[in-house]
Structure formats: structure tokens, C-alpha cells
A and B are shown apart, each in its own frame.
Chain A
């Protein structure tokens, strides 16, 4: 009866693997195993329902058949009894729900007639199903209508039983699928999740150390072999491009140095006119701008490549104080008010060169874009660093805030539009948080060590 339980486990299809990889961030996506389980149960539900109906029909037929056989058997025994009985009463009639014998004028039938009927039951006030056998027979040369009935009341119990068994089987199967899913995900999918984890932690500059190992599963071996090929190729391309960029940037510095030195020497020439000197100076200044640009782009690339390892934990307060004194004249010239709130020491896990850049870029901007008699607020706690400044400039739209070469204004020609992009790159590459906010004339940049937020 419970034969249908042992359905084979459905093999996961590879298409779903792709889906679970690409829509990882999608909250509507579910684990491959959950998905197969849901599909499996959705398929099993109609199978079980159909099975229940089939069982019901079969058992119903069987019960009818059995009842009919009993009725025929009863009829034969009754006929034998009526034949042998010496009955003085020439005509008689018996009327019970189970046995009914009435005199009739109908001709004698040689075959009995079987059918299902519903008969009213007084105690329960319902109709109950019965099987009924009718035949016209001869007793003492008189014709009688014989009616035998048997209750089919067990049929209701049968349906209940079938539903119970089916529910139990379905529930059992559900638990079985859950358990096997768990076991399968523990063992079979282990290498897959190991590879996935490796891919997620992949860093471009550490590709050469990434090897996807052989597994005991053919498909995963294919996947890992493909991944190995891919990472090797990406690493080669990446190294080539990196070297090209760096070499190009470095190579550019030499001609820049030559041109700049020649112009500097030309500036010494007393015989040149003012116009000529001004032309030379403009070229000289532009060359320097080009060189700074080159320098900053190279810096961005280096930060991105994580070429500044965290070896030291420089004290942020010391760095801020250093730059406050370096920019002292600029602050004094604009007569800015500095409100600094710093704890004694704040070691930050950042390369000293990057700490310098972070502080000088943010502080430099706070001074550069401030107005005369403006204010700068600096706040340093153990894990957060924020600089707020007053400015006449409007709020910076968030979409261009950290973009390269997006200058918010054209008033300050000395800006190359890379300062904030560099700060952002530092934050991204070294797991720092970086936020910008604007409130009634105050621009605030806050950086934080991530562990402060994630605990």
C-alpha cells in the first residue's frame, strides 16, 4: 500500500547552479537544494493525490465485489432453507432492511440482480450505502420477490484510512527529503561551495596563489579546471596591463622632467620679453599639472593593486596635527576656526603614506573650499575620523562625488579632480567606510574602520 513512497531522489540540474551563482544577491533566489526539494514536493503532491484516488477506487471496487459474493452466498443459503422448510402458511412475507421476501406476480427469474442503493437510517438520520440483491424465486409453487441487502458503511472508514496513510507517507517523505538534502549538501556540494567561497574571496593581485583543487566529482572537476584556466589567464592579462600602465607612467616622467628643466633654464634668460616669459611659465605650470595628474593616476592604480601593505598603525591624531601645522598659513590666511576633538591616540590600520594622503586630501579640501572666517570641525575617536567644513558650495551630488575628474566647480583651477577619488579608493581597498553628508552649509566627510560597524 505504501509502495509509492520510495521515489528516487531527483538529480539537480546544472542550469539551476548557474542561476544560484548569478543571482546570489537576489533575495528571491533560493538554494539549489531548497529549490529541487520544493519542485520535488510540488511534483509529489499530485502523484500522492492521484495515488489516493486510485487506492480509493480499487478498494471500493474490491469491497463491492466481496459484498456481492456474500449476498449471493446468503441467497443460496436462504433458498436452500426456504425449499426445505415445510410451510403451512401458503403465503407469507418477511420485511427487514437486510432480508425482504414478498409474494409477487412477476415471472421467476433465473439470475439475480445486483445494485447499490441508499437507504434511510433512522437512528443516524442519514442515508447509508447498501448493496442489494434481488431475484424472483418460487417457494411452494408461489413466486416471491427476494431482496437481500448488506451495508457498505465501512467505505467511509476506508477513505479516512487512505487519507491518513497518504498524509503519513507524504510527511515521511518530506522529512526524508529534508534529511537527504542536508546530507547531500554536506557532502556532495562541499567542493562546489569551497570553490564558490574561493571565487568570492578572489583578489586580482593574489590570483597566482589561487588554485581550485581536484574533487571526486566529474562536473566539479570540469568547473575547477575552467576556473583555474580563467584565473591564470586573468592574472597574466592583469599583470601585463599593470606593468604597461606603470611603465607608461614612469616613462612619461622622464620627458616631462626634460621639458620642465629646459623651460626652467629658459626662464633665466634676461633677454626674453615679458610675453615670451609668460608663455614659458604657462607651459611650465601646465607640464607640472600633467605630471601631478600622472602621479595621481599612478597612485590610484597602486592603491587599487593594494601595493601599500598594512605594516604599521600610524596614529591618526599625529598625522592630523602634522597637516594642521603644514597648512597653518593657509588656515591663518583664511582666518579659519579649527575645532578639533581628538582622543589621545588613534592607531589606524593603514600604510603611513596612505594615512598622509587621506588626511591631507580631506583637510586640504576643507581649507580650499572654505570661505573667509569659516569653520572646520575635526573629530577623531578610536575608530572614526570626520572633517566638517563650512563652504559656499552647494551639496555635492552623490553620483559624481567620488568620480574621477568630476570637479564640482571651475573656480579652483588648481584642483585636478582626483583628490576625493583617491580617498574613496583608499577606503574601498582597505575596508574603511566613507560617508559624505551635507547640512545647512556644512560639508562632512567621515571615515571609519569597518570593524567598528560590524563589531
Chain B
């Protein structure tokens, strides 16, 4: 899977590259508008992560160019501007998702993952992690080919964990993923523990292995 990261801040560009590479993607980089236009014209990508504010141009124009090229790549816009107009405009132009800075790398990775699944396989794919099989189309989860019943939030958690497998995922990233902008209304992160406890219990009951590990109270690691 090839991902193009268009971001002018080198430190952020490298962070994204490091995280996504570790998750198994092949990452290419573009640091300004000209490079970005050049690369999308020259190569095919599965996913493009584009910043809006770029030297020599605008990230939204890269999205336009991709549409002109009839590219099938998934597009995620990342912007420092939490502006509704920008978001709507980006999605209108054909972007698949919009993420406001600052974001959790695990969240960006999960979104890249979801877009690729949707785009590449029209959602008709199964996600497999050892004995766990997930069918996103029907939202069913099988452990050792035995169906288990998860709540909506537990299902979301499992998907997030598998997308970010082998990485430490912080509680705040999980809370942000499950509750979006309203996660600071929650009061504390304690409720995440309850969800994880339930998810773990259900998987263990289906004779699955215990993949969710608590990491020194900083967060969780799957697998």
C-alpha cells in the first residue's frame, strides 16, 4: 500500500512517515505544492494525506488535480484550521476525510486504514488478525469462526486496535476516537477501562487469546 504524505513541516512529515511505515505502508513524501502535483501526476498512490496550507499552493488544489486525473486514491486532508467551510469544501472536492491538527498518529492511521478498506475493496473485505475475523460490511466479529456479540463501542475499539496493532495506543486517543469532539465532556477516561474489560472478557470467553495489554498505565497495546 502506497501512501503519499504532503506536509510542509518536516518534523510532522517524518512522524507520520515513521508511524505509517511501521504499520506496513510504503510512504512517499512531498514538502510543497509543486512536489505534490509532480508526484500525483507521476505515480499511483493508494492514499494521500494532504495538508491544506502548503508553500506554493493549496492542498485543496491537489485534491482537485487528483479528481482531474481520475485518481482512485483515498484522500485525507489534515489542517490546522478547524474551519467548517474548509472541511465541507474539502469533502465536496472529493476528499474522503478531514482531520484537524493536532491529531493522534493512531487516529490518522486508523482513518487511512478505513479509507483503504472502503476504497480498495468496496468494503467487501474481511479483516483477519490471527483467530479474529471481522466482516465490516455486516459488522460481525468471529473468533475461531464463532460469532461474538459486541456493542458498537467495543466493535469500534477492536477495529482501532487491529489497525494500530503492536503499538501503544493512549487512553486519550481511544477516547477521542470513540467520542470525537465531545470526549472532554466525559469527565474521565475510566469508562474506557470498562469497555476494554468487556471486550477482553468476550474474546476470552470465545477462547481467543488475550491480545490487549495494559502498558504501565499509559495506554494499551494490541497483539
Spell out A's residues near B (CB within 8 Å): 250-251, 253-254, 256-262, 264-265, 267-268, 274, 277-278, 280-281, 284-285, 287-288, 291-292, 295, 298, 308, 323, 326-327, 329-330, 333, 353, 360-361, 363-365, 367-368, 412, 414-416, 419
Cβ < 8 Å to A, chain B residues 13-53: 15-16, 18-19, 22
| Contact present for A258 and B9 (CB under 8 Å) | yes
Bound Cα distance A280, B153 (Å): 27
Bound Cα distance A96, B9 (Å): 128
| Contact present for A267 and B9 (CB under 8 Å) | no
A-side contacts of B19, CB under 8 Å: 261, 264-265
Cβ < 8 Å to A, chain B residues 161-216: 167-168, 170, 172-173, 179, 181-182, 184-188, 190-191, 194-195, 215-216
Name, among A360, A367, A412, the residue most crowded by chain B CB atoms within 10 Å (CB to CB): A360
Spell out B's residues near A (CB within 8 Å): 9, 11-12, 15-16, 18-19, 22, 80-82, 84, 100-106, 153, 167-168, 170, 172-173, 179, 181-182, 184-188, 190-191, 194-195, 215-219
Bound Cα distance A267, B15 (Å): 13
For B107, give the chain A residue with the smallest CB separation: A264
A-B contact pairs, 23 of them (CB 8 A): A253-B101, A257-B80, A258-B11, A260-B103, A262-B15, A264-B105, A265-B15, A265-B18, A265-B105, A281-B219, A287-B102, A288-B102, A292-B184, A298-B82, A308-B84, A323-B182, A329-B153, A329-B191, A333-B194, A360-B185, A367-B187, A368-B185, A414-B186
Bound Cα distance A291, B101 (Å): 9
For B218, give the chain A residue with the smallest CB separation: A281
What's the minimum C-beta distance from A393 to chain B, rounded to whole angstroms? 13
A-side contacts of B190, CB under 8 Å: 333
| Contact present for B104 and A260 (CB under 8 Å) | yes
A-side contacts of B101, CB under 8 Å: 253-254, 256-257
Bound Cα distance A327, B105 (Å): 25
For B12, give the chain A residue with the smallest CB separation: A258
B-side contacts of A327, CB under 8 Å: 182, 185-186
| Contact present for A267 and B187 (CB under 8 Å) | no
CB within 8 Å for A250 and B170 given contacts A265-B18, A265-B19: no
| Contact present for B170 and A257 (CB under 8 Å) | no
Bound Cα distance A277, B167 (Å): 14
| Contact present for A353 and B84 (CB under 8 Å) | yes
Bound Cα distance A259, B11 (Å): 9
Bound Cα distance A284, B22 (Å): 21
Bound Cα distance A301, B52 (Å): 22
Name, among A264, A284, A363, A419, the residue most crowded by chain B CB atoms within 10 Å (CB to CB): A264
Known: A250-B81, A360-B185. 4 other contacts (CB 8 A): A261-B102, A281-B218, A412-B187, A414-B186
A-side contacts of B170, CB under 8 Å: 264, 267, 281, 284-285
| Contact present for A258 and B15 (CB under 8 Å) | yes
CB within 8 Å for A364 and B186 given contacts A257-B80, A267-B218, A268-B167: yes
| Contact present for A360 and B191 (CB under 8 Å) | no
Bound Cα distance A292, B175 (Å): 14
What's the minimum C-beta distance from A357 to chain B, rounded to whole angstroms? 8
| Contact present for B194 and A257 (CB under 8 Å) | no
Q: Tell me if A's interface is mostly helix, strand, loop or mixed.
A: helix
A-side contacts of B217, CB under 8 Å: 278, 281
A-side contacts of B182, CB under 8 Å: 323, 326-327, 360, 364
| Contact present for B179 and A326 (CB under 8 Å) | yes
| Contact present for A295 and B82 (CB under 8 Å) | yes
Q: Which of A268, A278, A364 contacts B216, CB < 8 Å?
A: A278
Q: Which of B22, B103, B153, B184 contacts A414, CB < 8 Å?
A: B184
Name, among B106, B153, B185, B219, the residue most crowded by chain A CB atoms within 10 Å (CB to CB): B185
B-side contacts of A253, CB under 8 Å: 80, 82, 100-102
| Contact present for B168 and A268 (CB under 8 Å) | yes
B-side contacts of A256, CB under 8 Å: 101-102
What's the minimum C-beta distance from B196 to chain A, rounded to whole angstroms? 12
Bound Cα distance A412, B167 (Å): 29
A-side contacts of B187, CB under 8 Å: 330, 364, 367-368, 412, 414-415
For B22, give the chain A residue with the smallest CB separation: A268
What's the minimum C-beta distance from B146 to chain A, rounded to whole angstroms? 26
For B179, give the chain A residue with the smallest CB separation: A326
| Contact present for A330 and B191 (CB under 8 Å) | yes
For A308, give the chain B residue with the smallest CB separation: B84
For B11, give the chain A residue with the smallest CB separation: A258
| Contact present for A257 and B103 (CB under 8 Å) | yes
Bound Cα distance A12, B88 (Å): 57
| Contact present for B218 and A261 (CB under 8 Å) | no
Bound Cα distance A419, B184 (Å): 10
Q: Which of A262, A277, A295 contacts B11, CB < 8 Å?
A: A262
What's the minimum C-beta distance from B6 to chain A, rounded to whole angstroms? 14
B-side contacts of A264, CB under 8 Å: 15, 19, 104-106, 170, 173
For B78, give the chain A residue with the smallest CB separation: A257
| Contact present for B185 and A254 (CB under 8 Å) | no
What's the minimum C-beta distance from B22 to chain A, rounded to whole angstroms? 8
A-side contacts of B82, CB under 8 Å: 253, 295, 298
For A361, give the chain B residue with the smallest CB separation: B185
| Contact present for A261 and B185 (CB under 8 Å) | no
CB within 8 Å for A261 and B191 given contacts A254-B9, A298-B82, A353-B84: no
What's the minimum C-beta distance from A232 to chain B, rounded to whole angstroms? 27
- What 6 A-B pairs come out closest when comparing CB atoms? A364-B185, A257-B102, A261-B15, A257-B101, A253-B80, A368-B187
What's the minimum C-beta distance from A306 to chain B, rounded to whole angstroms? 14
CB within 8 Å for A291 and B102 given contacts A298-B82, A364-B185: yes
Name, among A261, A281, A329, the residue most crowded by chain B CB atoms within 10 Å (CB to CB): A261
B-side contacts of A285, CB under 8 Å: 170, 172
What's the minimum C-beta distance from B63 to chain A, rounded to whole angstroms? 20
What's the minimum C-beta distance from B195 to chain A, rounded to whole angstroms? 7
CB within 8 Å for A261 and B16 given contacts A256-B102, A329-B191, A333-B194: yes
Bound Cα distance A363, B153 (Å): 20
B-side contacts of A292, CB under 8 Å: 184
What's the minimum C-beta distance from B96 to chain A, rounded to whole angstroms? 20
